[in-house]
Amino acid sequence: MPSHEIVEIDESPNSNHGFSFWNEPLLYIRSSVKERTLHMKKNTSLSELSGSLGDLGTLLPILVALSINGQISLTSSLIFGGLWNIVSGLMFRIPMCVQPMKAIAAVAISANLSIGEIMSAGIGVGSMILILGITRTIKIIEKWTPIPVVRGIQLGAGVTLIIKAADMVRKSSGWGGSSWKWNDNYEWAILSFIFVFTFYSSKRVPSALILFIVGLIIALIKVFRSDSILPSASFNYPEVIVPTLEEFKVGFLSASLGQLPLTALNSVIALAALANDLFPERSSLNTVGRISISIGLMNIIGCFFGSTPYCHGSGGLAGQYRFGARSEVSILILGFFKLILGILFGKTLTSLLNYFPMSILGLMLFVSGAELSSAARNFVRKGDHDDDETKKKNFTLVIVTAGLLVGFQNDGIGYIGGMLVSLLFFITHYFQHRRSSD
């Protein structure tokens, strides 16, 4: 192609512009950058900004709890969280969330793990998920997992988020009385609930952004009134942390093994299914292999600098989508915001974030759980007939998987139970078919 010829830009998501990187790299890169720029400019809006905040209900409580106790570096967590947001946006081209690993965080808080042990847990999970992605083993697991079992994992994860959201709200002060707190109470939760669901289907009202601003104002007032230390600007940077062999052993055995099934099933397989439901035009980008490799590299790199272990997650994607995110623009905005906060303020943000109302964060987490749970409505497998018996069996698989997951608080148990019931249904159907054909 002559250098003076005008290059027409095809804005379709998987366009190769009529030429390949290997044949004409400069033209490919130029047209790709131009297409990306036009796409992001077109999608820059308040709705995307609101959607970027849709996963704060998971992010903030974990970061605050672990950073207050010195179990992670808030500076590194913000900087690397921002970097992973930006990389994920450019890599997957959807509002792919980046959230802390919840199972590791829960064990870390309850068992008071050291920063080295938490980093070891993240490196352990990241390494195993990376191996599953590189060897394509995760693809085999996805291929042989029935759609109703995947939907059951999504439903169970959504209900679990709803339960955690309710627990967050309950821990805030109740109705009136001497213990009533003006900044965090049931009244704020109810007002937020009414506000979000009043504008649930509206694309013009950035509900998450409005709730975040309200919560931030409340936190600032509380900091001023309590004479707490305000965040101070300075240059902050990550510091290298190398876990000892003993810390790696404790972290791996106590936290990595419990996080692995949650990451593999909810953060990879269920996430890929949800991403392809919401963004079918990006299906070639959002594969289980790419997601696994992304999670693996995030933790193998970030955890050596004290960052909290990160993963992607179906709940975070559902929350960001519900609050307005429709493209990678949302998490690119969030990523740059985290980077700036981490570099300029770092750990001094802890006092401010600690006063952010749990009642508002809990409501945002509740909406994320409800949105993720609703994905389970599409539980019919390809090729299945629409007869009532097949629908009943498929829905039973969804309920069994979700019920075991929620009941035992373990994705692995939910997955194994759902797969076992699916196998039993297959065997009984096979013998019934043979008997009827004889």
Among 395, 287, 367, residue whose Cα is nearest residue 58: 367
Same domain, 248 and 354: yes
**Contacts with 188 (C-beta within 8 Å, 6 or more apart), sequence order:** 172, 218, 357, 359, 360
Same domain, 370 and 425: no
Same domain, 245 and 348: yes
Residue where one domain finishes, among candidates 345, 376, 407: 376
- 438 residues of the chain, pLDDT tens digit each: 333 333 333 444 445 545 454 566 666 567 678 888 888 888 899 999 999 999 998 899 899 889 988 999 999 999 999 999 999 999 999 999 999 998 899 889 888 899 999 999 999 999 999 999 999 999 999 999 999 999 999 999 999 999 999 998 988 767 776 678 899 999 999 999 999 999 988 878 899 999 999 999 999 999 998 888 889 999 999 999 999 999 999 999 989 988 999 899 999 999 999 999 999 999 999 999 999 999 999 999 999 999 999 999 999 999 999 999 999 999 999 999 999 999 999 999 998 998 999 999 999 999 999 999 998 888 876 556 567 888 899 999 999 999 999 999 888 999 999 999 999 999 998 888 888 776
Same domain, 67 and 190: yes
CA distance 208 to 116: 34
Same domain, 207 and 240: yes
DSSP class per residue in 359-406: HHHHHHHHHHHHHHHHGGG--PPTT----HHHHHHHHHHHHHHHHHHH
CA distance 368 to 201: 14
The length of the chain in residues reads 438
Same domain, 136 and 84: yes
Same domain, 269 and 332: yes
Domain that residue 415 falls in: 385-437
Same domain, 247 and 326: yes
Residue where one domain finishes, among candidates 9, 28, 43: 43
The pairs formed by 170-179 with CB atoms below 8 angstroms and a separation of 24 or more are: 171/358, 172/357, 172/358, 172/359, 172/362
- Tokens for 185, please give them: 């109470």
**Contacts with 316 (C-beta within 8 Å, 6 or more apart), sequence order:** 54, 55, 58, 97, 98, 99, 368
Indicate the number of domains in the chain: 3
Same domain, 372 and 425: no
Same domain, 275 and 394: no
Specify the pLDDT at position 6: 33
Residue where one domain finishes, among candidates 350, 376, 402: 376
Same domain, 253 and 331: yes
Same domain, 161 and 195: yes
Among 314, 403, 368, 311, residue whose Cα is nearest residue 166: 368
